[in-house]
Every structure is written in C-alpha cells, then in structure tokens.
Amino acid sequence: MATVEVLTSELVVPSDKTPAGAVWLSNLDLAARRGYTPTVYFYRPDGEPGLFAPDVIKDSLARALVPFYPLAGRLGLDATGRLQVDCTGEGVLFVTARSEYVLDDLINDFVPCTEMRDLFVPPEPSPSAPCVLLLVQVTSLRCGGMVLGLAAHHTLIDARSAAHFVETWASIARGSNGDNIPASPCFDHELLRARPVPTVLYDHPEYKAEEPAPTHALTASSTSTTYASALITLTKAEVSAIKARCEVASTFRAVVALVWQCACRARSLPPEAETRLYSMVDVRPRMSPPLPPGYFGNAVIRTSAVATVEEVVSNPVGHAARRLRTATSQGDEYVRSLVDYLEGVDTMNLPRSGISRAHLRAISWMGMSLHDADFGWGAPAFMGPALMYYSGFLHVLNAAGKDNAVTLALSLEPESMPEFRKVFTEELARLQQQ
C-alpha cells in the first residue's frame, strides 16, 4: 500500500464576517453518533496541469463557509451542559498531502477500512466539546488525480446536510458567487423541538439497548472493529431484476432486502433467530409542514424491520422489501413521538455502535449527487465512506458514471463475507433468469 505525505495543515476561516452566537441542537442531533463521518471523493486527472491547485479548493472552501458558518464554529455546551454549536468562526482544518498512488490502482485497492481512512482523511480529534466540526484533506496523486477526504461531525451534519454543503462548495469552486445555491441552509433546529407536553405514542426500540440474543452464537456483538468490507456494484440490469421481484419498492428497499436475505444465509443463522434490519429515514419531507429544503442538521430517524431468519430466507425477496417499506413509511406523528421520547432519556447513553451478529444496518446515500460534487474538473470517479464502523453495516450509493447502477459498501464478519459474495452472486444470476 502506498503512503501519503502531509505537506501543510492549517485552519481555513470564512472569507467574510459571519454571525456569532450559538445554534441550538435538537434531540435528533443529540441522538446521532457522537463522532465524525469520514468520506472520500476520487477525481481523475483531465490533462490540465495544476488543475487541482489546493489554493483553489481552499479559497472556495472559505467562501462556502460564509453561508454555512456554523461549520466554522466549535461544538460547545450551554449553561445547562447541553450540547450546542458555538459560532466562533475559528475555521475548519485544511490539510494538503501527496501520494505515490495512481488513481486506477487506488480504486482497485480501495475498500472502506481504517487504513484508507488514515491515508486520506485527517486524524480525528476527540469528538467532545470543544472540537472542530469539519476536517478536510486534499491529496495529490502521482497520476495527476486527486482525493478529497472529509470528516464531518455527525452531531451537526447528516448525509443530506453534508451533500448540501459539498454541492455548494463545488458550485463556488466552479465559479458561482454562492448566491445561486439550490437552497439556503436553515439552522433553525427549533423546528424539531419536543412538544411542551411530550406525547410518546409509539415504541422506539431502535433507541434502546438490544435484548440479549437467546443463543450463544448470536450474543457476540458486532462492536469489534475487525470486519471484512467490500464494494459491490450492481448494473442497471441487475437492479431492474431485483426491483421486478419487489413490486413498487424503491431501489434502496429492493436492494437492501436482497442483501438482508443473503446476509442471513451467509451467516448460517438459526431459523428461529430474530433478525432486525435497521434503516435511517430522512424526515424533511415527512413533517407537517415539511422542513425547509435547506434544513441543515440531523433530520433522520432510525427505524427497523424485524423477522425471524426463516421468514426472511424462505420467502421471495419481495416479502423482505415489503417489511422494509412498512418500517420506513412513518410520518410526522411518529417523528414527533420519537423527539418527545428522546426528551425523557439521557441521550449520552443511547446505543450508537455495534449490533448483534444477526442484524444489519442500512443507510442510503443515493441522494448525495456525484454530478454536483464537480469542483470544475468533472464528477468524481468514486464517492463513498472511508471506513465502516463494525460488521453488518451497509451503504447504498449511486455508482459513478453509470445510470441507474448502484454501489454497495458492505461490512460483515470476516468469516461471513466469502459466503455472502457467493450467495449474493448466485441470487443475482437467478433473479435475472426469471
């Protein structure tokens, strides 16, 4: 594996004066994973020397931080000890580096893992207050390509918010003055404040500690950082074949249903074991009234579908897709119930890492447009997570340069991954023949 040499490290501050004060954080912000989300964008060279000049990226970053000024602040505490964002304008960490990697070799070698994160994303500080909220690394490759690595603090930024910021930043780098961004960022997290009289109408098991599994084989949690990860690209034809067996399910639900089914088989789980498929739902359009399009913060909730292993593996894949559709169809009242539930618990002690070996956690990043991450040298050749946190994690992404194709970033137990690949490939072939 090639190495990376760090050249410079500095703080980039907003290019103009920005508001001071503090951003209040909602219960959904406080319930998010208390740490950084590392992502990488790979860019191919296009023959123009100096195109990836770090100063161009740095200057556009400074300008992007003006409308997105809380990112230049620090995670802080209010008078009661509750987390908030202090809008101090201190800036984000900006690192430049170079590597002997050639992009094609990097893409062939890359899987989300600690080693790749350590190469292309700045080292993460403690995520506790006070701390920086965004870290950026620009790594020049020997071939003339470039890797953009980001680490964004999840307490303020969910996937949609991250995409909103990167799209704006890229637009500015391409020559925009920043006035024509798709939607102005909205930092009014009061829109997700608990009701004056909290009313919890639903159970919210995704925010409670898991009950111990009844069999010894399943009691081992997947909290270990030892996992096998893989990137699997599904062609348009393969996606269509899966969706054809899942009635009107979305691409995300259909693909995740098949992964759930194949993971249960690959893990050799007992038929009577309970398996839970966790997912995240963007609630921006589901609220009444909907949240502003530019709502910047955590506006996602955890949901889950639960079944026995036998139910998942013995039924057609469409059955699992229907279970997932039911679990991800909640509206305003469910979200308000969750926010009210979180008002009455210690959010510091919510389960945030690791799931039982019988379970799977799936997240859609399909809304993170690759085309809109064009800084002036073309869309990225790849964009995805820099690492996975534990076994049983799945990201569903748009495949670069391939219409209606998707890429799966998956982590499983090292002993389960080879069998998963075999079972998944066989099932794809079978579905295409039907």
Which tens digit of pLDDT belongs to each residue from 393-403?
999 998 887 77
Known catalytic membership, residue 154? yes
Map out the domains of the chain as residue ranges: 4-192, 205-210+222-433
pLDDT confidence band for 225 (50 / 70 / 90): low
Q: With 50 as the cut, is the pLDDT of residue 220 above it? A: no
Res 215: pLDDT: 47
Rounded CA gap, 124 and 122, in Å? Answer: 6
Q: Of these residues, 154, 164, 204, 359, which one is catalytic? A: 154
Helices (H), 328-404: 332-343
Q: With 70 as the cut, is the pLDDT of residue 119 above it? A: yes
| Percent of the chain at pLDDT exceeding 90 | 75
| CATH of range 205-210+222-433; options 3.30.559.10, 3.30.565.10, 3.40.50.9100, 2.30.30.30 | 3.30.559.10
Instruction: Tokens for 337, please give them.
Output: 């119930």
Instruction: Tokens for 151, please give them.
Output: 């680490």
In 3D space, the residue among 360, 255, 271, 251 whose CA is nearest the CA of residue 312 turns out to be 271
**Topology of domain 4-192, per CATH?**
Chloramphenicol Acetyltransferase (3.30.559)
Give the H/E segment covering residue 312.
helix 309-314
Question: Across the strands, what pairs with 150?
Answer: 39, 136
Is 370 in contact with 406 (CB distance < 8 Å)? no
DSSP letters along 84-152, please?
Answer: EEE-----EEEEEEEES--HHHHHHH--SSHHHHHHHSPPP---SSSEESEEEEEEEETTS-EEEEEEE
pLDDT confidence band for 143 (50 / 70 / 90): confident
DSSP structure class, residue 202: S
- The per-residue pLDDT of the chain, averaged, comes to 90
Res 311: pLDDT: 96
pLDDT (mean) for 298-325: 94
Q: Of these residues, 105, 188, 282, 374, which one is catalytic? A: 374
Q: With 90 as the cut, is the pLDDT of residue 93 above it? A: yes
Res 24: pLDDT: 97
DSSP structure class, residue 349: G
CA distances from 224 to 62, 218, 270, 355, 390 (A): 38, 14, 22, 10, 6
Name the residue with tokens 């970053």: 61
Is 383 in contact with 368 (CB distance < 8 Å)? yes
pLDDT confidence band for 223 (50 / 70 / 90): very low
Question: Across the strands, what pairs with 137?
Answer: 95, 149
pLDDT (mean) for 236-244: 93
> For the chain, how big is the Rg over CA atoms in Å?
22
Known catalytic membership, residue 179? no
Lowest pLDDT segment from 210-219, 328-337, 361-370: 210-219
In 3D space, the residue among 273, 283, 235, 277 whose CA is nearest the CA of residue 258 turns out to be 277
For 145-188, the pLDDT digits (tens) are 999 999 999 999 999 999 999 999 999 998 876 555 667 999 99
Q: With 60 as the cut, is the pLDDT of residue 125 above it? A: yes
Res 370: pLDDT: 73
The pTM for the full model equals 0.92
Number of H helices, E strands in the chain: 12, 16
pLDDT confidence band for 295 (50 / 70 / 90): very high
Do domains 4-192 and 205-210+222-433 share one topology? The answer is yes
Task: Say how many C-beta atoms besides its own lie within 10 A of residue 331's C-beta.
Answer: 12
Res 218: pLDDT: 52
